[in-house]
A and B are shown apart, each in its own frame.
Chain A
Amino acid sequence: MGKFIIERIGSAILTILGASIIAFVILRALPTDPARLIAGPFASEDVLNTVRAQMGLDKPLVAQYLDYIRNFFTGDWGYSYGAGKPVLPLIAERLPASVELAVLAFVSAFAAAVLLTVLVSFSRSRILDGILRALSFVSVGVPPFWISLLLLMLFFERLGWFPGPVGRGPAPAIITGFYTIDYLLAGNLQGAGTALWHIVLPGIALALGSFGYLVRLLRANLLDVVHEPFVTVLHSKGVAPVNTHFRHILPNAFLPTLTAGGLILAQLIGGSVLVEQIFTWPGIGTLVIDGITRQDYAVVQSFILLSAIIYIVVNLGVDVLYGYVDPRVRRS
């Protein structure tokens, strides 16, 4: 098992390096001249050259790449001219907001999907199955920004049950960057409650699509496994249906859902731009959109690599978890 984990970490590191090369090359291939962007449209050639030298754009590409890697590891991720701050602290400020939202949304979606799908499949009721399927179709089909607006209209404007599009609410003393955790660490239960209260609406908007997708996937997998020969064998041993379903069928059906789950989580962290925009959520999604519109080079470059890292790390986690759950994978 240890060997398995080390192998996976090794592949992950190689993949990250590969992603860094791609991020590096893509930005260098863009038509815009970064020096011109920074110096402005009226700068003279001399100023441009100075800026280029400052940014290291006059060095050969390989040297630039090595600089880039070195800077990455020393924490120098460039400077955001749009925000007027270095990129790393900027991202460090905004990333936890996205992660907190994505993780809470994902966990709820996952738990709800698994619970409902397993119970419905165990009941063998065609009516319940039909309802669940209809629900999953609707969830998958609903666009997140539309549902965000709908939720706001209904639960904020009409009913006033939840806060409006004001972002995360009051901040606690920052330790991890996750408001709920930081409030709890400070012993402030009410504050944690407020933080959660702000997360509910954007969380639902994000969770719906994942929920529908996971339900469909898990349902299909359960159906497949139910027809496998070993299930008949379990019945012939006299194993009660409850145990057959929860201790044998579910673990087998769960594996592909686990993989899909990882991908969904990674996507939610980096890709929830529209929801973040609508709720004024200070996450990395809005950060990178601003970066793109302002052609803020350093921010975009860092974000590309960062998203790749998020995907890779989440998938590494999934792989390791998979190794625990599926013994066939463990023995390579």
Chain B
Amino acid sequence: MTDAPVLDVRNLRTVFDTPVGQVVSVDDVSFAIPHGKTLGLVGESGSGKSVTSLSLMRLVGRGGGRVASGSATLTTRDGATTDLLALPEKAMRKVRGRDIAMVFQEPMTSLDPVWSVGDQIMESIRLHQGVNKAEARRRAVDMLRLVGIPAPERRIDDFPHQLSGGMRQRVMIAIALSCRPGLLIADEPTTALDVTIQAQILDLIRRLQAEIGMSVLFITHNLGVVAETAVRVVVVYAGQVVEEAAVADIFATPRHPYTLGLLASIPGTSAPTPDRRLPTIGGAPPSPLARPTGCRFAPRCALALDACRASVPELVEVAPGHKARCIRWQDVRR
């Protein structure tokens, strides 16, 4: 167990060149994923959280995007460090699936419908571990058992359509973990699942994390899930990091009006009012093509001043290990 973070992201900037202009999806985002722990990346639609994970995996090209600048230093299990964003594509392909693995949101469409689930797990194993077919199959059965699929020797030859959503997500996790990656990027892995199944999957990820000593980047918009799984939280809004802190601090003493507003708008977190209304953040996030100069949250912020609109606030340290991008952070209270 080292103290060095397993992934150190600095000044990541990802852009999409569209016919109507350049969209900066991820704007100077930095964070560090602690070794063996979970970092929660919280944001709503358009915040850039998913693009961030795809950028780290160097998969944004498929959608027409590119990483414009920044570094992402990965520390692998044997202690070696590499900058993911500077690797040639062939080397990056070795990293994918072996050192970093991903689990996506939609279990129903994330598996190849005409390959058996066993073959899809074995594909990863044979690709990165270079074992023969029989050995790969043995390991695949072990993985299925590890993720809690009953009768794995039989189900290994099942096809995705024969499995429920929860089971498919377990298979996805089995594929992701089959090569014992040091880092798992989970992009909304339970959003499409039922509540009781979600609980099972979160338990599973937690258990496996402890067993194989894995770090997790958990991307979600669900603050309840974050509270349960993460030790540190990074909140993103309109492509920027607006707050970063230990999980207890984010919930107890948020220092950015957006974080505060987000927490308050969850039903059940604030004291119920007699008129049965939830506190809300008025308005909507800015369009990526028409972002305000200055603080991007200012148009919706109750504490906004002219100084806020003049220039983008810096991310300042408001307490040890706690940063916020707000000049009025002292006035932010629950």
Q: Do chains A and B touch in the complex (CB under 8 A)?
A: yes
Judge whether A238 and B96 touch: CB under 8 Å: yes
Interface segment, one of B100-108, B138-146, B209-217, B311-319: B100-108
Closest to B128 in A: A238
A233 to B102, CA, bound (A): 8
* Closest Cβ–Cβ distance, residue B318 to chain A (whole Å): 36
Judge whether B94 and A327 touch: CB under 8 Å: no
> What count of chain A residues pass the 8 Å CB interface test?
20
Judge whether B97 and A325 touch: CB under 8 Å: no
Residues from chain A with a CB closer than 8 A to the CB of B175 are: 237
The answer to whether the Cβ of A154 comes within 8 Å of any Cβ in the partner chain is: no
Judge whether A236 and B159 touch: CB under 8 Å: no
Q: Indicate which residue in A229, A234, A251 contacts B106 across the interface (CB closer than 8 Å).
A: A229
Query: Which residues between 229 and 265 of chain A lie within 8 Å of chain B, taking CB atoms?
Result: 229-230, 232-240, 248, 251-252
Given A232-B59, A233-B104, residue A325 in contact with residue B110 (CB < 8 A): no
Judge whether A238 and B94 touch: CB under 8 Å: yes
Given A228-B109, A232-B59, residue A237 in contact with residue B115 (CB < 8 A): no
Q: Indicate which residue in A229, A232, A248, A331 contacts B115 across the interface (CB closer than 8 Å).
A: A248
The answer to whether the Cβ of B206 comes within 8 Å of any Cβ in the partner chain is: no
The answer to whether the Cβ of B162 comes within 8 Å of any Cβ in the partner chain is: yes
The answer to whether the Cβ of B13 comes within 8 Å of any Cβ in the partner chain is: no
Closest to A231 in B: B62
Query: Which residues between 38 and 89 of chain B lie within 8 Å of chain A, taking CB atoms?
Result: 57, 59, 62
The answer to whether the Cβ of B155 comes within 8 Å of any Cβ in the partner chain is: no
A234 to B120, CA, bound (A): 9
Q: Indicate which residue in B93, B111, B112, B172 contacts A238 across the interface (CB closer than 8 Å).
A: B93
A157 to B120, CA, bound (A): 57
The answer to whether the Cβ of B255 comes within 8 Å of any Cβ in the partner chain is: no
Judge whether B127 and A239 touch: CB under 8 Å: yes
Judge whether B112 and A229 touch: CB under 8 Å: no
Judge whether A235 and B123 touch: CB under 8 Å: no
* Closest Cβ–Cβ distance, residue B167 to chain A (whole Å): 16
Judge whether B161 and A237 touch: CB under 8 Å: no
Greatest chain A CB density within 10 A among B97, B112, B116, B159 is at: B112
* Closest Cβ–Cβ distance, residue A248 to chain B (whole Å): 5
The answer to whether the Cβ of A3 comes within 8 Å of any Cβ in the partner chain is: no
The answer to whether the Cβ of A67 comes within 8 Å of any Cβ in the partner chain is: no
Closest to A326 in B: B114
Judge whether A237 and B127 touch: CB under 8 Å: yes
* Closest Cβ–Cβ distance, residue A172 to chain B (whole Å): 42
The answer to whether the Cβ of A328 comes within 8 Å of any Cβ in the partner chain is: yes
The answer to whether the Cβ of B35 comes within 8 Å of any Cβ in the partner chain is: no
Closest to B61 in A: A235
Closest to A249 in B: B112
Residues from chain B with a CB closer than 8 A to the CB of A234 are: 112
Q: Indicate which residue in A232, A238, A248 contacts B95 across the interface (CB closer than 8 Å).
A: A238
Judge whether B113 and A328 touch: CB under 8 Å: yes
Judge whether B62 and A237 touch: CB under 8 Å: no
* Closest Cβ–Cβ distance, residue B153 to chain A (whole Å): 18
A18 to B109, CA, bound (A): 40
In the assembled complex, 17 residue pairs joining A and B whose CB atoms fall closer than 8 Å, in A order, are A230-B110, A233-B102, A234-B112, A235-B59, A235-B96, A236-B57, A236-B97, A236-B101, A238-B124, A238-B127, A239-B123, A248-B112, A252-B112, A325-B114, A327-B116, A327-B159, A328-B113
B contacts, CB < 8 Å to A: 57, 59, 62, 93-98, 101-102, 104, 106, 109-116, 123-124, 127-128, 159, 161-162, 172, 175
